[in-house]
Structure 1
Amino acid sequence: MEKLFASLNESAELLAEELNIPYVEAAAETGENLFQGEVLQDELSELTIKKLKKVYSAVELDTYDREEIRKAFQLCILKGLKEGAHPNHQMTPDSVGMFIGYLVQRFMEGRQSFSLLDPAAGTGNLLTAVLNQLKDHSVESTGVDVDDLLIHLSYVNANLQKHPVQFYNQDSLQNLFADPVDAVICDLPVGFYPNDEGASSYQLKADEGHSYAHHLFIEQSLRHTKPGGYLFFIIPNMLFSSKEAPKLNAFIKEEAYIQALLQLPLSMFQGEQHAKSIFILQKKGEGAEAPKQAMLADLPKFSNFEGMQSMMKQINQWFEQNR
């Protein structure tokens, strides 16, 4: 993985310097080159093209597994986002992405093939981390993001890992081009949605002022989930304590069954006000029913082996009693 990152990093730095573009954009360009097996940028000097070809010739993508490719490309993206201070995206931590992949696998057990949507795909890191946990399933997946750079990174990320994902560069809170799906994953973008007219069609729009984007994403996700489908959200812990929370509670009660609320370790976040949880819903519909008891837990640190073993045991017991 370190070797692959070194190749991606060296080639991205060459492109960034020669094309005079930010490193994160160069990371997308070099990923595209690597996937296509050729240098696609016409405006490069012969010397730079020669250097790039030498770097790429040393990389055999087929010798790496998908997780190694995802992690190497993720390191490039993290470096680029840090350098560019990209305001729109904080990447979902690896451990959380892999754990959500495990949860999707458990809830979708018995279904060999299903469709999956990430309406806030960002760089595609959460989506591909989840797909890498679903090796034994045939998943038709879709990612949506309003940011053209992030969706380009998503596209390159998925291509390098050979995941056939359909991507759309659009405002996820407007009419989606994607069809309804069996499951949704989403690290909810937290903040206000500036388009008041766009928010006007939502039940969860604010009575006055801008609406909460994270509330609208929950409603939009439920709209685009098939009856009985599952939704896996990463939510801010303060979701149910805002002034709009009563309306959100009533909406969720009307539209879905709460399956689980799993608080992520506080040590993962810079203070309690930034803490998050995993929130799992099932959309109401034929075959869907409320669990006898929702799964509620505070997750231990993912590095705590014994704590995680105990948590997995509790999760398994919950599935035996509620499925």
Structure 2
Amino acid sequence: MNFAPIEELFHKFDETAQILQEDLSCTYLDALGETGENFFHGSVVQEEISELAKKRLTKIYASFRTDTFSKEDIRKAYQLAILKGMKENVQPNHQMTPDAVGMFVSYLINKFTAEKKEMTLLEPAVGTGNLLFTILNQLPEKEISSFGIDVDETLIKLAYAGANLQEHPIQLYNQDSLEPLFIDPVDLVVSDLPVGYYPNDVRAADYELKADQGHSYSHHLFIEQGINHLKEGGYLFLIIPNELFVSTEAPKLNKYLTSQTHIQGMVQLPLSMFKNESAAKSILILQKKKEGINPPKKALLVTLPKLSDAAATQAILNKIDEWVKVDK
């Protein structure tokens, strides 16, 4: 891989974000969203900026052309800048999905939707958009109309700027994803589920997966919301904590999933990707029930090896290919 364009772009994003951060007295992440918009327009759109900062920025923006960089170069450079900003202002829900996971989710989507060329996709916890952008960049032969939702204003602004820079026509909504959504049912729901408790007990009461006592699990409600907004026969690709099915609420979740979906499979991600075993995750693949669609003869259950082990990884990919041919 040629890292030169990614490094060049990162330095442009970083330098201009720092100028804006200082001049506007805002956080690095907010400044990064602002500079992303400036790069897209090719000019400084902020009116409250000083003349000196405007001159410095204009010179850098003038040297940028999207057609000289690939979408993946732009995504990776932008991601690096976001990661820098997150180190300065760490919040638990501001964790980005690792690239390797996003690419493997893309691979699975391609396998399960091989016959479909046009699809609609919902990411109900879109964050900075990195998982969604990875999927769109990895599946350029498919025409995917995308919708992203996030309650965090800073993250949705970063996703908006990133979508523009990569020229992805995504509809983004800044709202609580568990409130009513004005989006038609989609073919795919993809999400790195936000894990924790949902504080709005009144809203949670509208969900079947609400807790019998105390606050409900937000990740359970996100799953139900995803199923509600999925077409019959559509797929969910969910990045879940490995402990999803061992909590006190797990029996209710399991019963709900069995009634609403066919569980196609679960891919356990390598433990080496996570700081400790309790933080480990898997990819859960569900298909919403539809008349005429039968459950798989046997669910796909695999554990990914370290992705640096090429031979072992290829063996797992071969196993998945064989399962898709025989069991799907």
**TM-score where L is the length of structure 1:** 0.98
Task: Verify: 1:117 aligned to 2:98, yes or no.
Answer: no
What SS is found at the alignment partner of 2:238?
strand
Q: Is contact 1:105-1:133 (8 Å) kept?
A: no
User: Which residue of the other structure, out of 305, 309, 316, is the alignment partner of 1:311?
Assistant: 316
**Aligned residue for 2:217?**
212
Alignment of 1:228-307 (within 5 A): 228-307=233-312
**Aligned residue for 1:74?**
79
Q: Is contact 2:261-2:286 (8 Å) kept?
A: yes
Q: Deviations over 1:166-213 (max 9, x none)?
A: 011111011012111001100000000000000001110000000000
Q: Deviations over 1:103-141 (max 9, x none)?
A: 111111111101000000000000110111110011111
Q: Deviations over 1:32-56 (max 9, x none)?
A: 0000111011111211111101111
What SS is found at the alignment partner of 1:15?
helix
How well do the aligned residues superpose, as a CA RMSD in angstroms?
Answer: 0.9
**Aligned residue for 1:15?**
20
CA distance in 1 between partners of 2:139 and 2:293 (Å): 23
CA distance in 2 between partners of 1:248 and 1:108 (Å): 26
How much has 1:287 moved relative to structure 2? Answer: 3.8
Q: Is contact 1:168-1:177 (8 Å) kept?
A: no
Task: Verify: 1:147 aligned to 2:152, yes or no.
Answer: yes
How much has 1:320 moved relative to structure 2? Answer: 1.0
How much has 1:258 moved relative to structure 2? Answer: 0.6
**AA partner of residue 77 (structure 1):** I
What SS is found at the alignment partner of 2:177?
coil
CA distance in 1 between partners of 2:215 and 2:135 (Å): 32
Which segments of 5 or more consecutive residues in structure 2 lack a partner in the other structure? 1-5
**Aligned residue for 2:183?**
178
Instruction: Identify which range, 57-66 or 162-171, moves more after superposition.
Output: 57-66
Displacement over 2 Å in runs of 4+: none
Which segments of 5 or more consecutive residues in structure 1 lack a partner in the other structure? none
How much has 1:307 moved relative to structure 2? Answer: 1.5
**Aligned residue for 1:63?**
68
CA distance in 2 between partners of 1:24 and 1:200 (Å): 35
Q: Is contact 2:43-2:62 (8 Å) kept?
A: no
**AA partner of residue 263 (structure 1):** Q
Q: Is contact 1:228-1:287 (8 Å) kept?
A: no
CA distance in 1 between partners of 2:292 and 2:72 (Å): 35
What SS is found at the alignment partner of 2:93?
coil
CA distance in 1 between partners of 2:161 and 2:291 (Å): 38
How much has 1:94 moved relative to structure 2? Answer: 0.4
Q: Deviations over 1:139-174 (max 9, x none)?
A: 111000111111111111111100000011111011
Alignment of 1:77-116 (within 5 A): 77-116=82-121
What SS is found at the alignment partner of 1:150?
helix
Instruction: Identify which range, 76-85 or 234-243, moves more after superposition.
Output: 76-85
User: Which residue of the other structure, out of 22, 36, 43, is the alignment partner of 2:48?
Assistant: 43
CA distance in 2 between partners of 1:312 and 1:8 (Å): 36
**TM-score where L is the length of structure 2:** 0.97
How much has 1:303 moved relative to structure 2? Answer: 2.0
**Aligned residue for 2:3?**
none
What SS is found at the alignment partner of 1:28?
helix
What SS is found at the alignment partner of 2:139?
coil
Seq. identity, %: 55
**AA partner of residue 274 (structure 1):** A
User: Which residue of the other structure, out of 143, 148, 171, is the alignment partner of 1:166?
Assistant: 171
Residues matched between the structures, number = 323
Q: Deviations over 1:3-41 (max 9, x none)?
A: 011111000000001111100110000000000111011
**AA partner of residue 12 (structure 1):** A
What SS is found at the alignment partner of 2:210?
coil
What SS is found at the alignment partner of 1:227?
strand
How much has 1:87 moved relative to structure 2? Answer: 3.5
CA distance in 2 between partners of 1:162 and 1:286 (Å): 37
**AA partner of residue 265 (structure 1):** P
CA distance in 2 between partners of 1:180 and 1:312 (Å): 30
How much has 1:273 moved relative to structure 2? Answer: 0.7
How much has 1:81 moved relative to structure 2? Answer: 1.2
